[in-house]
Amino acid sequence: MTRTPQLQLSADVAARMRAALPTVAADILAAIVREVPGYAGQLGETMERTIESAVEIALNGFLDIAAHAEGADASAPGDPPREGAYALGRGEARSGRSMDSLLAAYRLGARLAWRELSLVAVDAGLAAETLASFAELVFAYIDELSASSAAGHADELASTGLVRQRHLERLGHGLLTGASPAALEAAAARADWPAPRSLTAVILPESRARAALMTLDPRTLRPVDEVPGLESGGRTVLLVPDADGPARAPMLQLLRGRRAIVGPPRPWLAVRASYLRALRALELDRRRTAGEFATGEPVDTERLLVDLVLGADPEAVEDLRTQVLAPLLSLRPAVADKLGQTLRSWLLHHGRRDQIAADLFVHPQTIRYRMGQLRELYGDRLEDPRTVLEMTVALGVHPRWGGATPG
């Protein structure tokens, strides 16, 4: 309310009511402790004293307003009853309770205050029309206090939520930048974040992170400060709890269409390793002209282990490839290319001529002829396990020969 109802309480009536306030306050407290769900039998001595003090302040504030001249402003900032009501609302939020119990206490208090103070007013000879205004003032005043408590409750939740969110963001940043286990465990405790068995790093465009968070485990962490490797490019990282074992496939399904790169699950304190692998997969995609990760489907790094191993040192792989293909350098480029394709297919199909021919779309006799040429060039090296291993590593994911090409 913004203005009090018109009310004229004489000094004598106001004095009689004020004398009754201790009894009224005690009766209200006893009724709250006995009848209000959430409070009944659950309030400690400290909380009871807090409520009793708030009731007395509210009742005295009410009588101060009631005794003022008509039109007095009952909502002036700094009013002690309003401040007390605001503090009660914040206390409820800190205790993890909703406003239900406190609002029920207000309703009960208003009813008892009206009943007992009206008896005093009637005994003092207050006119009926004035008594009606008095009733209106009682319940309007309670509405004002209820609104103040609701504001305190909302402000406390907002403040607590922001503080916790910042703690969660700092925890995520520490996990990705290599903070010590002791520091990480302390950060998890400050954030009231129950540590999972494992965490999985997921790199995805920032524009798609919010939608992903709405579907993933609510404990998922999202650092907002810059982390090494994602300083530019419009990408962010999420740390998803317990997405290992049977839970991995459902998580990948939830990430469909989000252009996500998913690292391996790791114990939560070691999730930085998952993040670094996802980063390497991102870099691998940047080096590929096909843009394999741009389709929108999630990229599971667990299915890219060979590519990641071979891509860990691209220059070393290229040097190895140059050594392996050195015997072909004396040939015309077209011939060298066909023999290179044949050698790769021979390695991958373990020398099975029919499978090699099907892979290259040629006749098996062509494969026999080409393998004869390769044996002339490589000699006994094709029988050497170490050489075969080097050839397999060098040619297994050759960018030019990675798919079946006729001829």
- Residue 11 CB-density burial (10 A; 0-12 exposed, 13-18 middle, 19+ buried): exposed
Higher pLDDT, 38 or 204: 204
- Residue 225 CB-density burial (10 A; 0-12 exposed, 13-18 middle, 19+ buried): exposed
Of 101, 100, 92, 86, the C-alpha closest to 40 is 101
Q: Per-residue pLDDT for 41 more than 70?
A: no
**pLDDT for 337:** 92
Q: Per-residue pLDDT for 95 more than 50?
A: yes
**pLDDT for 177:** 92
Q: Per-residue pLDDT for 133 more than 70?
A: yes
Q: Are 6 and 71 in contact (CB under 8 A)?
A: yes
Residue 46 β-bridge partners: none
Q: What is the mean pLDDT of residues 74-98?
A: 75
Distance CA 376, CA 255 (A): 51
Q: What is the mean pLDDT of residues 44-67?
A: 80
Of 65, 38, 36, 69, the C-alpha closest to 144 is 65
Distance CA 365, CA 338 (A): 14
Percent of the chain, pLDDT > 90? 40
**pLDDT for 400:** 55
- Residue 196 CB-density burial (10 A; 0-12 exposed, 13-18 middle, 19+ buried): buried
In eight-state DSSP terms, residue 221 is: B
Distance CA 245, CA 256 (A): 19
Q: Hey, what are 354's tokens?
A: 């029919």
**Residue 22 CB coordination number (10 Å):** 12
Confidence of residue 401 (pLDDT cuts 50, 70, 90): low
350: left (phi over 0), alpha (psi -120 to 50) or beta: left
Lowest mean pLDDT among 42-51, 52-61, 151-160, 373-382: 42-51
Lowest mean pLDDT among 88-92, 289-293, 328-332, 354-358: 289-293
**pLDDT for 175:** 96
**pLDDT for 362:** 93
Q: What is the mean pLDDT of residues 248-270?
A: 94
State the DSSP string of 36-59. STTTTTT--HHHHHHHHHHHHHHH
Q: Per-residue pLDDT for 405 more than 70?
A: no
Q: Per-residue pLDDT for 378 more than 90?
A: yes
Integer angstrom CA distances of residue 284 from 37, 59, 280: 60, 72, 6
H or E, element range at 359: helix 353-360
**pLDDT for 156:** 84
Higher pLDDT, 314 or 381: 381
**pLDDT for 357:** 92
Distance CA 127, CA 133 (A): 10
Q: Name the percent of the chain in helix, strand, coil, to the closest 5.
A: 65, 5, 30
Confidence of residue 317 (pLDDT cuts 50, 70, 90): confident
Lowest mean pLDDT among 73-87, 111-125, 356-370: 73-87
Helix residue ranges per DSSP H, 216-262: 248-254
**pLDDT for 4:** 46
Higher pLDDT, 79 or 73: 79
Q: What is the mean pLDDT of residues 278-291?
A: 73
Residues in Cβ contact with 172 at an 8 Å cutoff, skipping those fewer than 6 apart = 221, 222, 223, 239
Higher pLDDT, 317 or 212: 212
Q: Per-residue pLDDT for 55 more than 80?
A: yes
Distance CA 285, CA 306 (A): 14
**pLDDT for 219:** 93
Residues in Cβ contact with 260 at an 8 Å cutoff, skipping those fewer than 6 apart = 202, 203, 204, 208, 212, 298, 299
Confidence of residue 225 (pLDDT cuts 50, 70, 90): confident
Helix residue ranges per DSSP H, 77-180: 80-94, 100-123, 128-177
Q: What is the mean pLDDT of residues 90-110?
A: 85
Q: Are 281 and 301 in contact (CB under 8 A)?
A: yes
Distance CA 239, CA 274 (A): 9
Q: What is the mean pLDDT of residues 75-88?
A: 73
3-state secondary structure of 148: helix
Higher pLDDT, 107 or 232: 107
Average pLDDT over the chain, rounded to an integer:
84
The strand pair at 299-300 and 261-267 is best described as parallel
Q: Per-residue pLDDT for 217 more than 90?
A: yes
Q: What is the mean pLDDT of residues 385-402?
A: 76
**pLDDT for 326:** 93
Q: What is the mean pLDDT of residues 202-222?
A: 92
Q: Hey, what are 85's tokens?
A: 């009501």
Q: What is the mean pLDDT of residues 275-303?
A: 77
Confidence of residue 76 (pLDDT cuts 50, 70, 90): very low
**pLDDT for 3:** 47
3-state secondary structure of 399: coil
Q: Per-residue pLDDT for 214 more than 70?
A: yes
Confidence of residue 407 (pLDDT cuts 50, 70, 90): very low
Q: Starting at the earlier edge strand, list the strands of the sheet with 299-300.
A: 235-241, 198-205, 261-267, 299-300
Percent of the chain, pLDDT > 70? 88
